Amino acid sequence: MTIREFKMPDVGEGLTEAEILKWYVQPGDTVTDGQVVCEVETAKAAVELPIPFDGVVHALLFEEGVTVDVGQVIISVETAPGAGDAGEAAAVAPAEAAPAAAVAAEEEPAPEGRQPVLVGYGVSTASTKRRPRKAAAGTPAANGTGAPAPAVAARNGSAAPVAPAAPAAPAVSVPAQPDGERPLAKPPVRKLAKDLGIDLAVVVPTGDGGIVTREDVHAAAAAAIAPAPAAVVPAPAVAAAPAAEAPVPVPQAVEASARETRIPVKGVRKVTAQAMVNSAFTAPHVTEFITLDVTRTMKLVQELKEDPDLQGLRINPLLLIAKAVLVAIRRNPDVNASWDEAAQEIVLKHYVNLGIAAATPRGLIVPNIKDAHAKTLGELSTALSGLVATARDGKTSPADMQNGTITITNVGVFGVDTGTPILNPGESAILAVGAIKLQPWVHKGKVKARQVTTLALSFDHRLIDGELGSRFLADIAAVLEHPRRLITWS
């Protein structure tokens, strides 16, 4: 039997960690290639992880509720010799195996295979191959061992002890990266290096195939702060727990006392909180309100529900409100824009990715309907239904939440009349729809009970001035008051 390790996949999108929500297997269970073994939550969505090989679960290295860095081993599986997918992490020999076998396995090139990724991210064929690196004296490939050579350890600030059996040859200076080559590192490692101010070109890689690891970056950062004295004297070790070390479970809620409960903020809630802070204190918000009679729109909703051409589709007020917003954008195209801070430019969008704010058990998310402006009423209904269902199931992919332009948030479903919504970062406006209620209203010179609601539009005053914002909101209201304008203004 061979023990194979499955690591937290590199999810891309700048994400560096994920929380394990639920394990679907336990030690001793048999697993097959492609079987989902756990569900994890990144900062953007909850996704399921499939195992890339067959075998029997040997150990679960982290408990549910623990946040794990990308690249850490989360589960080990016993597989038959030679079985499994060699494209993932290389099989590790049992503790009693001879070191020579490990060296031989390391020198043998692994066959190309399937790469495990998060559901919805796809597989990058380029990720299965790495550029060959020239072996140099003092590197792991050159000295024939899996551990970094003394020169490498000293340069990175590592404290791996070296006890040679015989006098070693003088250490040869090794460049961190060959001239002209881009350092090999995964996106989370590059982000870490950028955050720490470390140039990857000067970091000596110790990962397989000459890849710079997180440990290399941390070591280089520590070495920059406190340089090692001499090559013959190992520098102090950088404190870091090994990937296979048993984790300490992090409870979902920590009770401080009988009167308080502390809940860790992470995942979607953490990212949403930070995004809202950034938006509120970056974009100058303006909010305008309008109260209107939507009785005709509500009657149209009932008529469309009975239309045989729309059977099977979900017809509700939000659908017609979304259509009204799209018509108003067509009449006021300048509202559909974004602010480029670096270039100090306004970027006009010739497409509408209409965001729909959705409350989920894991927090508020805003997926968007791509190219909503080009969809028919039926297509828009299908897209809305699928978007909301996916969001409530916690299966929204990061791609569905990117590149939104304008958002609708329906606070009326909670019985709320109105509010002052905060812009989704990077977008120009957000429309809050209040509760639709029977209220006294002057209609044709008489006070009657009519279906009335209040709309609130928040917009970025760098992009939309008061006149444009007012026209845009008035047009939305005009369509909802007289829904025939869905046709006459289209």
Q: Report, as residue numbers or ranges, the catalytic residues.
A: 461
Contact 368, 353 (CB under 8 A): yes
Burial 279-303 (b: 16+ CB within 10 A, else e): beeebebbbbebebbbbebbebbee
Neighbours of 422 (CB within 10 A): 17
Which residue has 């099989």 as its token pair? 91
CA distance 65 to 22: 8
Contact 325, 354 (CB under 8 A): yes
Query: Which distant-in-sequence residues (6+ apart) come within 8 Å of 109 by Cβ?
Result: none
Which residue(s) pair with 467 in the sheet? Answer: none
